[in-house]
Structure formats: C-alpha cells, structure tokens
Amino acid sequence: MKNINFCMLVITTMLSTSIMAEQVNLYSARKEALIKPLLDKFTQQTGITVNLVTGKADNLITRLKSEGKYSPADLLLTTDVGRLYRAKEQGLTQAISVSPAIAALPNNFRDEQGHWLGLSLRARPMMVSVDRVNTQTIANVEDLISPEWKGRVCIRSSSNIYNQSMVAALIAQLGESAAQEWVNGLVNNFARPPQGGDRDQIKAVAAGLCDVAIANTYYLAGMLSSEDKTTQQQAKKVKVIWPNQAGRGTHINISGVALAKSAPNKDAALKLIDFLLSNESQLWYATTNHEYPILANIAWSDLLESFGTFKTEQVPLGQLGELNAAAVKMMDRAGWK
Amino acid sequence: MKFINWLYSWFNPWFVSITLGCIILAAPVGLVFVSVFFPQTEIWQHLYSTVLSDYIVNSLLLAFGVGFLVILIGTVLAWCIARYEFAGRKQLQWLILLPMAMPAYIIAYTYTGLLDFAGPLQTLLRDTFHWQYGDYYFPDIRSLPGAIIMLSLVLYPYVYMLARTAFSEQPASLEEVSRSLGISPSKHLFKVVLPLARPAILMGAALAMMEAFADYGTVQYFGLSTFTTGIFRTWFGLGNGIAAAQLAAMLTSFVVLLLILEYLSRRKVSYYFQGQKTNQVNRQKLSGRKAFWVPFLCVIPVFFGFMLPVLQLLKWASMTYSKQLTSEFWLLLWNSFYLAAIAAITAVILALIFAYGKRLNPIKPIQILVGVVNLGYAVPGTVIAIGAMISLSWLDIKLNTLTENWFDVSVGLIFSGSLFALILVYSSRFLAVAMHNIDTGLSRVKPSMDDASRSLGYKPLQVLRVIHVPLMKTSVLSALLLVFVDVLKELPATLILRPFNFNTLAVRAFELASDERLMDAALPALAIVSVGILPVILLTLLMDKPSQQSSQVN
C-alpha cells in the first residue's frame, strides 16, 4: 500500500511539473558533471526546465526504443558517433530543423538527413614517453606494428567504444584485410593485457611499463590540470604525437545530440541544441573538459593549444557506427581482450 | 470430497497469490530465457571460435575462487568470535562486518590506485631500490586472482554471519557429550561442529558466488573477459541483444547448478528450535600467545577489506570534497537512503509471504516457482533491468492506448518511468537474500507449533504474525538490513531505470570513477560506506543477543 501511495505521489508530481512550465527532457550519455552546468545556464537564460537522466548510451537507446511513442525524451546526448548512428538506424530519431547555428557546422559533423549533429570533438592520438622515445622515429599508427615496438604499446580493452570506433574508422579507410593486419600487429606488440582506462595507459607510459599509449586528449589534459601533484607529474612525462599527419590524419570522434522521434517538447529541444552550439557553450566544453569545440572559430584552452594543431581523418562519421560490429569481431579474432 | 480437497490444495488463495507474485517478479528473468528460442547461429560461431571459452573459464574460476576464499575467511572468523573470549572481541565482531558496506567496484578502484605499477607503493619501491620496469616481480592487481581477492574481501561477511549464528546456536550439551565420550576437541570440531554448520556455511558461500557471477563493475575495470563483460560486449559492441540474452541465460544456468548443489547438501540435515532456553556454549577465555594471535587474525580481513580502502578514500576525498560537497549532495544521500529502505521492506514482505506459502503448501510447483524467483540474484543487474524495462514499457504503452481510447488522455509512463520499476527490479534481484535468511529462520520453527496454533483457531496469517515472526526476529531483521545494504550499493539497474532528475550515491560515484576521476568519486563512495555502516552495526547488536535456542538433530 505504502508503495502504491508513493508511486501515486511520484506520478502526480511528474504530471504536475509537466503542466507547469516549458521544459525539455534529456537522455544523456554525457556524465552529469560534464553537462549539468551548461543546462543550468540554459534554464537561467530561457526559463525552460531541463529534466535529465544520465546513463550508458546503449541503455538509453534501449529505453527510448521500449518506451515507443510515449517516451518523454526529447533529446539523446551521446559521447560517440556510433551511438547516434545506432539510434537513427533503429528509427528513434527525426530530422533537426536547420537553424543558423547548425548551418555553420562542417558537413562531416552532421547526419545526411539531419537526424544528429556533433557538439564537441575528441581526438585519439598516440602519446609517447618523453624520456625514452625519439619523436622523430614515429609518425603513423602503422609504425606501432613494426617489431621495434614489440612489448612497448599500451591501450585499453577492446570493449571500449573509443577503440571500437577507431578500428571501425580504419576499416572504412584501409579495408577489412589491412585493418585486420594492423589490429593483429598491435596486439602482438602489447606491453601487457589491456586493463584500466585511458588515464591508466598514460600512467603506464609515465612509469616505464610501456613507451607509447593511445588515448583521448582530454584525459591527458584532465591529468595535467589535476589537484594531485603525482598525477600532474605523470602526465608531464608523455608527449602527444599526432599520427598520420602526412596522410589520412588523426582519428577523431564527436560527442553529439539526436532529436527523439516522439519528442513532446520539440521547440524547447531545438532551443537547447542551439544553446549547446552557442559560443558560450562551446567555450565551456573547451575549457572545462578540454574537448575540442566543434565550431572552428572558438578559442581552445591553453592546454589544448599546448598539444598543437593537427589534421583530422575525413571518414564520414556515420560509417563508424555502421562498422562497429565488424570492428569488435576483428578485435576478437586478434585476441585483443 | 477428495476432489474438492485436491482442488483446494492447488487453488487456495496462498497458492494463487504466490504464483502471481512469482510471475511478476520472474518476468524480467524469464524474458532472458525466451531468447533461447531465437537461434543466432552466425554470432555464436564467432563467439565459440574466439571468446566463449574465456567467458566460461574465467567466470567459473572467479566464482569458485571467491567461494573458496569466503568459506575460509568467514568460517575462521566466525569460529573465533563465537567460541573465544579475548580482548577487543566486542569491537571486532562488528568491525568484521564492515566490508559489507563497501561496494566491490569501489574497493577495486582504491586497490588499483594503491598497487598499480604507477601507484604509490610500486613507485616507492622503484625509487628506493633504483629499479626499472621488469627488474622485479610484483603481482598484478588487475587480474583474475586480483578480482577474486577484491570480491572475497567484501563478500566474506555472508559466510561469517551465517556460520557464526550456526556455531553459537549449537547447544553446550553437544560438547559435553563429546567430552564424556573422550573425543578430542579437534575431532569434535570436524565431526560435530562443522557438519552441523555446513548448510549455513554453504548457503553463505552460494550467495557470495552468485554475487561473483553477476559482478560487472570489478571485472570490467580489471579488463577481464567474463560472462558479464561478454554480455555487454555482445549486446552493444556486436549489436546483438538476443545473443547477449542467450549468454545471460547460459550464466543463469550455471547458477541453477550451483543452487541445486547447495540444496542437495542442505537436504540431509534439518534441526529445529524448541523455543526453550538451554545452555549456550561458554566462550573459552584465551590467554598467553593465543590471546594475541586470535584478535590479530581477525583484524586482517577488516584491515584489507575496510580500513585501508577507507583511508585511501579519505585521502582522496580530502583533496576534492570542496568541489563535491554541494547542497545537492545531501539530496543524493536522502535518495539513496529512502530508496534502499523501501526496497528492503518490500523484499522482506514478499519473502515472508513466499517462504510461508511454501511452508503451507509444500508442493513441487510452488517450490520451483520460488526457486525461479531466487535466480534473480545471479542475473546481472543490467539484464534484469532491461527485462523489466521492456515488460513495463509494454504495459505502459498498452495502458496509455487504453486511456487514450476511453478518456482521451495519455497518463504517461506510470510503471517504467517511475521508481516503481526500480523497486520491482530490486525485489526481483535481492529477494534471494531475504529468502535465504527467512527460510533459514522459518525452517527452524517446529511444524508442530503451526499445528498447535492452528488447532487453537488461529488463521495462517495470524500464526505468521503471532508465532513465526517473533520467533525469527533476527532472521527478519538481518534480511531487511542485508537487502538495504545491497540496494544502497546497487549500480547497473539504478543507472538504467531511474526517473528524470533522480540520482543516488552509487550512480554519482560510478559516473565520476568511470570518467577516470577516482579522486572525485571518493566522497560519494565514502558516503555509501557510511550509510551502509549503520545497518551493519545494528546487525551486530542483533547477532550478539542471546537468542532463544535449542536444537535437535534428526
């Protein structure tokens, strides 16, 4: 009985809030700490309440799907393009009407039918030991499979989406067999079985366990700006190498947003998308979490500047989602844990 | 007449309500098994030729490794506390339970921070001896043995609690008989005490092993290929939900085997409370060397399972608390607390009804039904949560269609979009914990008591209220507290099913940790531990109360 009363209470509060003010409902795979401050600003500026549920992208997609046309969600935020593609593929999204802010986006960061778009950019370069690696000897990710790097490479598990997208991008650009060869070669050169997150790979290079790691730049930036002295010192022992600058460019991914097919608050949702693309928000991404802004005219944080500029891969981002399963199978075959 | 009796024995209100309850609770687990009817040949060929053997071997090693270690640690500690009197025993008996409040994934984070190649300990070693990588051997924490130790450190209290109750409930008369027959104390231990306590010890181990099978946080962080990590990889990485559910069904089948083994080992022994007092075993006062060694031995698991990780967390939290300690933090604390409380009460009420129903109708179908619901504990939280989400959303959609057709309003997602979904999943997942405790309590109440009170005109529910619950107060309370602590720590289901703008401490700690911000995660992690400590202390007070006992062995 207690429970029923309690549920009724929850429902009535939910219903009453829905009648009260203009609002927008967000399913976000971006962690609360990395999105909430922006949402609070949005509410201050517009008076629109933002309701937030965070979680893993795939779970949120499953939730969206099972709720069907009664889903309260307006927007889906993800930290990787593969998941945006997956939501679109399952018919859970609709086209976002193009505002001036959206029109300013480079084509590669927007879905062809306009179902999703990027909000920030992440790069996944190589990071080498300052003491032990001559930076002249390494220029491309292909170098990592040569015998001289045997037992010197650190990278996290293949269960991680960033690695899956990276391999998917390789398949898209080099074809299945060349990509498989690279994956096999990389696994051969692992210093240890994959474990931990991106920061752990950087720490392992700093400690001398391996000489090169592949990791996202904002992890390194986060370590460099950590309160903890040890973490800072570890981060200072590695240097970013932008791979394949003379060729196809460095692997990138986006964090982005899709508009839910059954969005009950479409207008408010579009306002929020515009807000997330505004200079103010883009600057926040670049300074708080050290992600690259998706718009070219936004200043980078000093830390990002210190890593230098780079040429990016030009592979259509939608393909990364398409080739995700193929990438996982490839890594399974290579014995990449 | 016979026919009517037969009909009643099957279709009485108890049976019907239990069946309904079971079906609702088992629906999420059941959905997992439905997947078996949709063969996924191509994916399975891929899994079979690449990773499947890893999943099976690692999961089994993990679960049995944990089972072995928790039996070892839990039984030794239980024996020391139940049978010896020494300095510090009073404090130790509740300290020993503290690791229960520690989520396994959090202990894994802290130890990794401490023992990793780049962590303070190894760095110190290298700086002291001028070693380089490869110059020395240091065990790798992020490995299968590492995961076994992490999980065992926080799961041994399951065995300890049950074993301790079993040890202290054995009447002194047993020992007197042994002594009068000239049997040595060690022989008495192995021939009488341990066999009598065996069902309790194995039950504790089975619970711990189920946890180990379902653990995701630790194995994922350590990068181990087990069933749970495989389920997610198959589902999200390979994009095949059905094959993932089939893997989950396979995992659950392992647990069924485990439970059958546990049941078979328990079947042979049954003993009952009389409800009268007899002499309890007097604790032996320790002196000399033993008086030092026994407390020292008891402190070791507490130190590694609780004190050391908490110190590390405190150190991290001291660096970051100013950022994390906002007004919203207290709301998180409150959310976690009341959610766990509601779930615990719900699960215990359900467990009482099921256990009592089983007692009233000891027929196979009911036992099987209740057994199925108990499986929830071993299915990874995420899988149950998705099962619940799919079934509740379906219900919501049907309901909305109905109200739209009849009243022209849609009522929104009443079941799947509210805390109802979470409470259902928690009940489904943690019912096993409550059932184990309550079953044990109930099975010790002599059936003749039921007969006596029924013959005095009491109705079944009155018997439960007036006779059983008072007699097994300890079991009911420990069930409540165990579920409470479990829900407090629960992560995957909470993450998936929570409504808008609702967070818990576990969610917060996980979000920060999975973003590789371990230091920021320290404060919410400490808060989970602090809220979890309260029931643990209560539990100890309960366990130390001399309960009414006497037993007879059949």
Question: Is residue A202 a part of any domain in this protein?
Answer: yes
Residue B5 pLDDT level (bands cut at 50, 70, 90)? low
Residue B88 pLDDT level (bands cut at 50, 70, 90)? confident
- Do the chains contact at B236 and A58, CB–CB below 8 Å? yes
Residue A266 pLDDT level (bands cut at 50, 70, 90)? very high
Chain-centroid distance, C-alpha B342: 17
- pLDDT (tens digit per residue) in A35-72: 999 999 999 999 999 999 998 888 899 889 888 888 99
Q: Are B67 and B261 in contact (CB under 8 A)?
A: no
Q: Is residue B274 scored above 80 in pLDDT?
A: no
Which two structure tokens, joined as six digits, stand for A210? 């391996």
Same domain, A179 and A317: yes
Question: Is residue A268 a part of any domain in this protein?
Answer: yes
Share of chain B above pLDDT 70, in %: 92
Residue B303 has a pLDDT of 94
Same domain, A240 and A268: no
Residue B339 pLDDT level (bands cut at 50, 70, 90)? very high
Same domain, A28 and A154: no
Query: In chain B, which among 373-432 make CB contacts under 8 A with chain A?
Result: 382, 385-386, 389-390, 393-394, 396-397, 400, 410-414, 416-420, 423
Question: Is residue A6 a part of any domain in this protein?
Answer: no
> Dihedral sign, CA of B503, B506, B510, B512?
positive
Which two structure tokens, joined as six digits, stand for B172? 């002194």
Single out the residue of A177, A186, A166 nearest to residue A319, CA to CA.
A166
- DSSP characters for A315-330? --THHHHHTHHHHHHH
- pLDDT (tens digit per residue) in B495-504: 888 888 888 9
Query: For the ranges A58-72, B7-21, B193-207, B217-231, which has the lowest average pLDDT?
Result: B7-21
Query: In chain B, which among 10-49 make CB contacts under 8 A with chain A?
Result: 46
Residue B7 has a pLDDT of 62
What is the C-alpha separation between B86 and A75, in angstroms, rounded? Answer: 62
Query: What CATH number is associated with residue A67?
Result: 3.40.190.10
Question: Is residue A308 a part of any domain in this protein?
Answer: no
Average pLDDT over residues B398-403: 88
Q: Is residue A242 scored above 80 in pLDDT?
A: yes
Q: Is residue B30 scored above 60 in pLDDT?
A: yes
Share of chain A above pLDDT 90, in %: 61
Q: At what angle do helices A324-334 and B41-50 cross, to 10 degrees?
A: 30
Contacts with B321 (C-beta within 8 Å, 6 or more apart), sequence order: B523
Same domain, A93 and A182: no
- Name the 3-class secondary structure at A310: coil
Contacts with A29 (C-beta within 8 Å, 6 or more apart), sequence order: A54, A55, A56, A57, A60, A76, A77, A78, A79, A80, A83
Question: Is residue A307 a part of any domain in this protein?
Answer: no
Same domain, A271 and A322: no
State the greatest distance between any 2 C-alpha atoms of chain B, in Å, as a whole number. 90
Residue B233 has a pLDDT of 83
Residue B551 has a pLDDT of 36
Average pLDDT over residues B250-279: 70
In terms of CA atoms, which chain A residue is nearest residue B410? A70
What is the C-alpha separation between A205 and A202, in angstroms, rounded? Answer: 5
Most confident of A228-232, B2-6, B20-24: A228-232
The CA distance from B393 to the nearest CA of chain A, in Å, is 5
- Do the chains contact at A70 and B238, CB–CB below 8 Å? no
Most confident of A261-275, B19-33, B75-89, B91-105: A261-275
Same domain, A275 and A142: no
What is the C-alpha separation between B131 and B122, in angstroms, rounded? Answer: 10
In the annotated binding site of A for Fe cation, the residues are: 218-219
The CA distance from B131 to the nearest CA of chain A, in Å, is 11
Domain count, chain A: 2
Residue B290 pLDDT level (bands cut at 50, 70, 90)? confident
Question: Is residue A11 a part of any domain in this protein?
Answer: no
Q: Are A55 and A27 in contact (CB under 8 A)?
A: yes
Q: Is residue A201 scored above 90 in pLDDT?
A: yes
In terms of CA atoms, which chain A residue is nearest residue B404? A70
**Chain A residues inside the 8 Å CB shell of B319:** 227-228
Residue A114 has a pLDDT of 92
The CA distance from A93 to the nearest CA of chain B, in Å, is 18
Residue A2 has a pLDDT of 46
Question: Is residue A7 a part of any domain in this protein?
Answer: no
Residue B75 pLDDT level (bands cut at 50, 70, 90)? very high
Query: For the ranges A10-14, A177-181, B231-235, B318-322, which has the lowest average pLDDT?
Result: A10-14
Choose the closest CB to B496 out of A7, A59, A208. A59
Question: Within an 8 Å CB–CB cutoff, is residue B137 touching chain A?
Answer: no
Same domain, A247 and A325: yes
Range of the domain at A177: 123-251+313-334
Q: Is residue B278 scored above 70 in pLDDT?
A: no
Same domain, A267 and A229: no
In terms of CA atoms, which chain B residue is nearest residue A323? B238
Average pLDDT over residues B338-345: 93
Residue B543 has a pLDDT of 63
Average pLDDT over residues B349-354: 88
- Name the 3-class secondary structure at B141: coil
Residue B539 has a pLDDT of 72
- pLDDT (tens digit per residue) in B495-543: 888 888 888 998 888 888 877 777 888 899 999 988 888 877 777 776 6
What is the C-alpha separation between A101 and A163, in angstroms, rounded? Answer: 31
Q: What does the DSSP 8-state code read for residue A300?
A: P
Helical H segments across A21-160, by residue range:
36-46, 57-67, 81-89, 100-103
Query: For the ranges A98-107, A286-295, B134-143, which has the lowest average pLDDT?
Result: B134-143
Residue A50 has a pLDDT of 95
Question: Is residue A171 a part of any domain in this protein?
Answer: yes
Which two structure tokens, joined as six digits, stand for A277? 């693309």
What is the C-alpha separation between A187 and A208, in angstroms, rounded? Answer: 19
Average pLDDT over residues B287-300: 84
What is the C-alpha separation between B7 and A34, in angstroms, rounded? Answer: 61
Same domain, A327 and A190: yes
Same domain, A48 and A66: yes
Task: Count A/B contacts: CB-CB distance under 8 Å.
Answer: 173
Q: Is residue B209 scored above 80 in pLDDT?
A: yes
What is the C-alpha separation between B330 and B474, in angstroms, rounded? Answer: 31
Decide: residue B428, CB within 10 A, 0-12 exposed, 13-18 middle, 19+ buried: buried
Q: Are B382 and B236 in contact (CB under 8 A)?
A: no
Question: Within an 8 Å CB–CB cutoff, is residue B342 touching chain A?
Answer: yes
Same domain, A235 and A330: yes
Residue B468 amino acid letter: H
Q: List the single best residue of A66, A83, A328 to mutate versus B (max B Cβ within 10 A).
A: A66
The CA distance from A247 to the nearest CA of chain B, in Å, is 29
Same domain, A208 and A223: yes
Q: How many Cα atoms within 13 Å fall on the side-chain side of residue A239?
A: 12
- Do the chains contact at B237 and A70, CB–CB below 8 Å? no
**Chain B residues inside the 8 Å CB shell of A155:** none
Which two structure tokens, joined as six digits, stand for B183? 């049997």
Residue B93 pLDDT level (bands cut at 50, 70, 90)? confident
CA B41, B47, B51 angle in degrees (round to 5)? 170
